[in-house]
Amino acid sequence: MGKLDGKITIVTGATSGIGRRTVELFVAEGARVVATGRRAELGRSLEEALGKDRCVFVQADATQEDDVKKVLDTCLSKWGRLDCLFNNAGGPAPVGGIETVPVDGFDAAMATLVRSVMLGMKHAAPIMMKQGSGSIINNGSVAARRAGYSTSMIYSAAKAAVVHLTVCVSMQLGEKGVRVNSISPGGIATGIFAKALGLPADKADGYAEAVKASMAKNQPIPRAGLTDDIAHAAVFLASDDSTFINGHDLVVDGGLVGGRLWTPHQEGVKAMRQAFGVDEV
């Protein structure tokens, strides 16, 4: 018996990375999924791999309201309800100092990262409120909590908006039996880092493996984060195991934002002792 048996779900940004892995795990746990994204070839390959009885791909741009409506309509016409929406679609944002940010780049990033989440919630909410149940999951980031955890300050600001919007909406929808939470990943080995540095999406995904080694020492848990780590968190929030969790930002980062790393800190203390001529305790 799967944790999501009988659940009808939607996952945006499902053609690669966290979204694709989440779709795969949702199906493995018994869910039926409408997977969305802009890259049709990758979406169709996911649909074929999982079977059209379990996964239906809808090519859609999560920043466009008509496309979002199309996704919800497809879900309802095929399966008649909606139990979970994972607003996962995202992308990079302009890098550099505030004095260099292009207005069109700022607007595009806010649309991709924030407007898409708002639109998903806007059109899922009436369905779930009518049902009296449902789980909305929004993809946040540790960059929403701390400055300097993204290559882009605009990305950080956008993700902070997502996390707070999640809490605001949870206070409304919770009264109707609908839960709204976010997941804030730490350093997850996907193509988003290469995309942020300017590589096109079709090439960036191939660099996911390459970043693992460089990310392994960023947090107390000595490995890079994996798409599985976020997908399993999404399964938990989509399942009935989390029915009393609402308005929460679930940080999945191996301890990255917990504070200073223990060993480097102790090495610094040791160096100071030596500089002051103080014996080890």
Q: Which are the catalytic amino acids?
A: 141, 155, 159
Q: Which two tokens mark 189?
A: 């080995």
By the 8 A CB rule, do 109 and 91 touch? yes
Closest CA to 23 of 88, 83, 73, 91: 88
Closest CA to 99 of 154, 156, 157: 154
**φ and ψ at 235, to 5 degrees?**
-60, -45
Could you give the CA distance from residue 268 to residue 273 in angstroms, rounded to a whole number? 9
By the 8 A CB rule, do 172 and 144 touch? no
Q: Which two tokens mark 228?
A: 């599985």
Q: Is 266 exposed, middle or buried (0-12, 13-18, 19+ CB in 10 A)?
A: exposed
Strand intervals (E) in the chain: 8-11, 32-37, 55-59, 84-87, 134-139, 178-185, 249-252
By the 8 A CB rule, do 188 and 229 touch? yes
DSSP helix/strand/coil, 250: strand
